[in-house]
Amino acid sequence: MRFLLTGLSLLSLAVLGRQSWEKYKGEAVKDSALIRFYAFEGLTAETRQIPSLGTEKHPLLLDEGVMPEVVPGRFPGKTAIRLDEHSLKAKRFELDDQVFTAQMWIKINGVGTHRGNGGATNGTLMAIGVGYWDGLRITTSLPSIVPNLELGRPRGINSFGVSARAALMQGHWQHVAVSWDGKKLRCYINGKLTGQADYDTAYTDPGDAKFVIGFNGHGVGSTNFDVDQVVVHKRCLSAGEIAIWTLGELDCSPELVKSLDVIQEDGLRKEAEAAEAKISALMDDRNVSATLKTWLVCQFASASKLLERLDPTSLAANETPDFLMNLALGNILARLRYDKNLRLSREILEALLRQNLSSEDRCLVQARLMVFDFQDGNKDRAQVRLDEILGTKEISQETHYELANVLRGEKLYREARSIYAKILNDPDSPRQLRGLASLASAQTYLLSGDYESARRGFESVDGLGEAILPHHRLEARECAAESVRLSQGKPARDPEANRWRPAVPVIPALSVHVSPKGDDATGVGSKEKPLRTIQAGLDKVRQLRKDSPNQVSALVLGGGTYFMENTIVLDKEDGGTENAPFSIMAAPGEKPVLCGGFVLKGFDKVTDAKVLERVSQEAASKLVVCDLASAPIELKPEELPRAELFSQHVPLEPARWPNSGFVMTGQPFRDEDGKTTSFMHQEDQLEKWQASSDIWLNGYWTFLWASDTVKVKGVDLESKTIFLGWQPMYGVTQDRPYFAFNFLEAIDRPGEWFLDRIERKLYLYPEAGTDLSRLELSALKKPFFVLNDVNWVTIHGLVFDLSQATAMEINRGNQVRISGNTFSRLARLALKADDMTNSTFYGNDFHTLGAGGMRIFGGNRKTLEAGNNNIENNWVRDFSRLDRTYTPAILLGGCGNRLAHNLFHDSPHHAIRLEGNDHIVEYNDVHSVVYEADDQSGIDMWWNPSYQGNVMRYNFWHHIGSGHTIAGQSGIRLDDAICHVLMYSNIFFCAADGHFGAIQIHGGKDNVADNNLFVACQAALSFSTWGDDRWNSIFTDREDLKHRLYKEVNIDQPPYSTKYPWLKDLKLNNGRNFAWRNLLIRCNEVALRRGKMHEFLDTIDSKDAKAFLVGDTLESMDQAFSQQHWKQFTQISALRPIPFEEIGLYEDPNRASKPTVAEMRAITPNYKGTRK
């Protein structure tokens, strides 16, 4: 079409020509901080250089023997240079004060000659040095064309970068700017602030490196682009200054620049109302140029309805300069596609039609005008427009679908259904579009209150069979049932339909009772004369069952504390049958506690001078000690310290330095084996460490997604070097966070303690009011229960508490039920269950865990036989406290299991790890996780394309974020080649940070995001698509992947080839993923790093400040996501309301507790993500 959104591809210079350009240069060089100004004029074969008009006169020099092509610049009469495999170089500018601004006018022409690592189609635009290990670089890649600024850091550390988070358009002049003030990195596209990140680390000097424009190597390829102007300032320009430099209006008043600063900040934060108010004031200011007004409206139109303020006469051909037309009209079309609530005047729409539009855009505008015709009662004119649209051969069925949604939005249901039917009856329509159109058609009957017709409509959708996608058929069946309920005057949904409640256990006739008050010698196992120990009770049950093998049996535990020293083991013969199951259960109304720790006795004030001199004076005056010489605890200094001290059930802080947070590693050193087993300490603390021999360090030693705990072998005061007992996982990298713990010298605040495992003494600096007679220490290093190859066994209503080990291990089980139990104060994984089938894990509470909650594997991946295990209504909180990464609330593996109605929250890392096939993850509430790590999510899948058939639906992912910007944090992360996952009807709220959207897909294909709600997320989706070379290499070069695809299973043979027939095309369509009918509310962007292989359909990107608005109270979250907010959006889209009220825990007598709303919804203070 004649106009495109070029983002100021021609500024006022293009209109005023050479005279304006010379004036602009004259104003520019008045700035004493302008050190480089390259205008790319006057280049000849003789001069072979581009002079600098700035204070530093270092010219850009051509590569030897190369004369780049001189091309037309961005306005008539100006010249530019085309670069690709070669570059321009000059003496670098200094960054000793860590402050600069760089600006470029460029035109991206296409992929360059050189490829980056892995065949990537990326390229360098500007650089000093490597840009990864030192210096800086501005890069981009095709087809996304999103600029990125990176600052290099010493070898062994990733570079730190910030993305512009907005794409350039190929083939048009555009302005790119970056800045750093020593604290923040910022990126600008066409004068608009689009991305920023905090960064205050010292700049890594690149030595003798040059200042480079164009190809620079070092793992990055080349981009074919034209460069018209390069400007460098030795100061950080403000956001308002960047805008006026882009517009060439350098004579703007300081007051106007300040206003632009504020508007830019509001725009970055997506504070739409604030930005709109300020822009509206400038629109009424006669002293503001028309160029600037257009720039404001067009750059910030996505944050408001400012486009509606455009004067229709300004869109008339030949009355407005082309670049303004491009901006205004391009933005209108962009917003019309995504903001279906945007209401433009008839005059603006008719002005659009007078332009040379593409067929798709013309139909889009005609559809909006058709609505006006119907509203005016001009049905004939409306029919003419409709016929024109339907008769346009060049438009896609997707455009027909969007047209039908426009009609539906105006309650023109009959007309909408006629278009939906056209799509359905077209044999060339893809399955997903056919399914959406048929669902949308049936929905129109619901909207009009015709429930019987709706039922028939949805049943006909279900009858389409393989012509549509399976989950659309399931939706149709569910909606047909909802239509029936509505016709009966009932609520549409029955929450009980998706709640799998087990029966409440009943004490059978054959039962043995135990109690802490019982007696193994005199008790008989009756309620009146119970036995004392669980082992004695189990032995009694075994004896009774020999005589009555076909009776239901139970071991009933009375309330009280059972101090455990040994593991209770159930073997195959202890299991039951379908007609005679066996249970270990709590007596009704009582709470039996299996305890693996003990109460400390005999605290004394410390008088040992050698001990007191090792702690601060304040701590010395309060320090107490407990002698554990005869205590029932095994202490091995070579083991990771896992004993924990509790006061009133609250864990006390082991002595650590620093008291909170982390310090950063210094330079690492390699030993004779090449391993990094030592590093330089950057703080003045080592002299305090010499007397301790049991110091441990916990840190994110190389990657912010992997922590490890290692023992200190020794320290060298002179060189400030820490020597480790072994190399951490992934080695040691400089400037990575860690902390030290478990040494006496670190005790410096109330509540800290240290266990001297050599002398067997526990030291404590007690908080005021601490009852020293009630302090508990975890001791047990073996499981409470181990179940081996058991069937029909129930464990119900027990408390597993205060242990250094996993509480329960199940090694193969069928029809096992673990329900209503509490797993608390455990240093390791709470529950481990392998090779499980047809089992239930229901209503359990897990909290205060050193590692994860559950590890459950069931089903056979090789044969695809389902495990049919159900993990439901469990509450896991405050986990990964000691082992801080890869210890989720649940690791679910195998095939064909269900994870439903659980609540997982408060962890530094992810909540769910999913491995295997055909799992259903539904109705779960996940929040306050990934508050410390990076490159993680609420749920994580990793590195196996044979994981197929997994479904994540009806989940609530919220308040997920750590503030890290090296990678990002998300609600769902499909990492490294995960494919064919269905993400349906999830809600994401404040669940996207760093460089991730709420759904992050890294290297996978054919994943589907359908009917999801995204609220206050920086982006709904993000993609990190692999190049074709990298994708194809996993089938040929990666032995680990080949093993997973063809040895662990075989994707080319049944049952994989028959159940997942699409696997035959796994190598094709790299990076193809789908996003249909998703609703975005107050999100910054629809998608980050969106590429040509990503299909979007029926997306609503609303900036409505009141829709789904969460207030300040915990209850407001329930109100915000209730059904009343959906109506305005289901009217204009095939969206299906998401049943928020059914998500998460529900009350049941089998549950271990009844949490309050405050307990379930409270957001951790550790959450560091974006708050909205």
Place of tokens 């570079």: 159
DSSP-derived secondary structure for 498-551: G--PPPPP---SEEEEE-TT--TTT--SSSSS-BSSHHHHHHHHHHHHHH-TTS
Tell whether 898 is covered by a domain: no
Which structural domain range is residue 111 located in? Answer: 12-251
CA angle at residue 154 from 149 to 160, to 5 degrees? 25
pLDDT at 197 over 80: yes
pLDDT at 1172 over 80: no
Q: 3-class SS at 483?
A: helix
Tell me how far apart the alpha carbons of residues 594 and 598 are, in angstroms, rounded to a whole number: 11
pLDDT at 1098 over 70: yes
Tell whether 725 is covered by a domain: yes
Helix axis angle, 359-375 to 346-353, nearest 10°: 150
- What CATH code is carried by the domain that includes residue 226? 2.60.120.200
Sign of CA dihedral 1015, 1016, 1020, 1023: negative
Please, which residues have CB within 8 angstroms of residue 166's CB and are 6 or more apart in sequence?
146, 189, 192, 194, 195, 1085
Tell me how far apart the alpha carbons of residues 758 and 206 are, in angstroms, rounded to a whole number: 49
Specify the higher pLDDT residue, 610 or 357: 610
128-137, 355-364, 700-709, 853-862: least confidently modelled range: 355-364
Tell whether 834 is covered by a domain: no
Question: For the chain, what percent of residues have pLDDT higher than 70?
Answer: 94
pLDDT in tens, 493-512: 999 999 999 999 999 999 99
Tell whether 953 is covered by a domain: no
Please report which helix (H) or strand (E) contains residue 972, including its range.
strand 968-975
Specify the higher pLDDT residue, 290 or 945: 945
Smallest CA-to-CA distance from 91 within 41, 52, 65 is with 52
**SS3 track for 551-608:** CCEEEEECCEEEECCCCEEECHHHCCCCCCCEEEEECCCCCEEEECEEECCCEEECCC
Q: What is the pLDDT of residue 865?
A: 98
Specify the higher pLDDT residue, 809 or 43: 809
* Confidence band, pLDDT 50/70/90 cuts, at residue 814: very high
Mean pLDDT throughout 501-527? Answer: 97
Domain boundary among 201, 226, 251: 251
Rg (alpha carbons) of the chain, rounded to whole number: 33
Which two tokens mark 973?
A: 């992360």
Please, which residues have CB within 8 angstroms of residue 796's CB and are 6 or more apart in sequence?
505, 583, 584, 585, 586, 817, 818, 819, 820, 821, 1150
pLDDT at 303 over 80: no
Q: What is the pLDDT of residue 2?
A: 30
Q: 3-class SS at 1141?
A: helix
Domain boundary among 707, 722, 741: 741
pLDDT in tens, 880-922: 999 999 999 999 999 999 999 999 999 999 999 999 999 999 9
Tell whether 372 is covered by a domain: no
Q: What is the pLDDT of residue 305?
A: 58
Q: What is the pLDDT of residue 6?
A: 31
Task: For the chain, give the mean pLDDT.
Answer: 91
CA angle at residue 655 from 649 to 657, to 5 degrees? 130
pLDDT in tens, 47-63: 789 999 999 999 999 88
The count of structural domains within the chain is: 2
Tell whether 389 is covered by a domain: no
* Confidence band, pLDDT 50/70/90 cuts, at residue 286: confident
Alpha-helical regions (H) of 603-702: 609-612, 617-620
Specify the higher pLDDT residue, 344 or 1078: 1078
pLDDT in tens, 566-579: 999 999 999 999 99
Q: What is the pLDDT of residue 43?
A: 79
Tell whether 69 is covered by a domain: yes
Tally of residues, the chain:
1172
Question: For the chain, what percent of residues have pLDDT higher than 90?
Answer: 73
Domain boundary among 700, 715, 741: 741
Q: What is the pLDDT of residue 5?
A: 31
pLDDT at 3 over 50: no
pLDDT at 538 over 70: yes
Mean pLDDT throughout 712-737? Answer: 95
Smallest CA-to-CA distance from 800 within 740, 761, 866, 844 is with 844
- DSSP state, residue 325: H
Mean pLDDT throughout 656-665? Answer: 95
pLDDT in tens, 921-959: 999 999 999 999 999 999 999 999 999 999 999 999 999
Q: What is the pLDDT of residue 326?
A: 60
In DSSP terms, 904 is beta-bridged to 876, 926
Tell me how far apart the alpha carbons of residues 515 and 755 are, in angstroms, rounded to a whole number: 33
pLDDT at 308 over 70: no
Specify the higher pLDDT residue, 158 or 611: 611
Tell me how far apart the alpha carbons of residues 418 and 415 are, in angstroms, rounded to a whole number: 5
Tell me how far apart the alpha carbons of residues 785 and 570 are, in angstroms, rounded to a whole number: 8
pLDDT at 345 over 90: no
Q: Which amino acid is at 458?
A: F
Q: What is the pLDDT of residue 353?
A: 85
Mean pLDDT throughout 788-809? Answer: 98
Tell whether 1105 is covered by a domain: no
pLDDT in tens, 418-474: 999 999 999 999 999 999 999 999 999 999 999 999 999 999 999 999 999 999 999
pLDDT at 671 over 80: yes
**pTM (two decimals):** 0.86
pLDDT at 14 over 50: no
Tell me how far apart the alpha carbons of residues 805 and 190 are, in angstroms, rounded to a whole number: 58
Mean pLDDT throughout 1038-1053? Answer: 95
* Confidence band, pLDDT 50/70/90 cuts, at residue 13: very low
265-274, 311-320, 406-415, 792-801: least confidently modelled range: 311-320
Task: Tell me the C-alpha to C-alpha distance, in Å, between residue 810 and each of 7, 552, 887, 919, 942.
Answer: 61, 21, 18, 20, 25
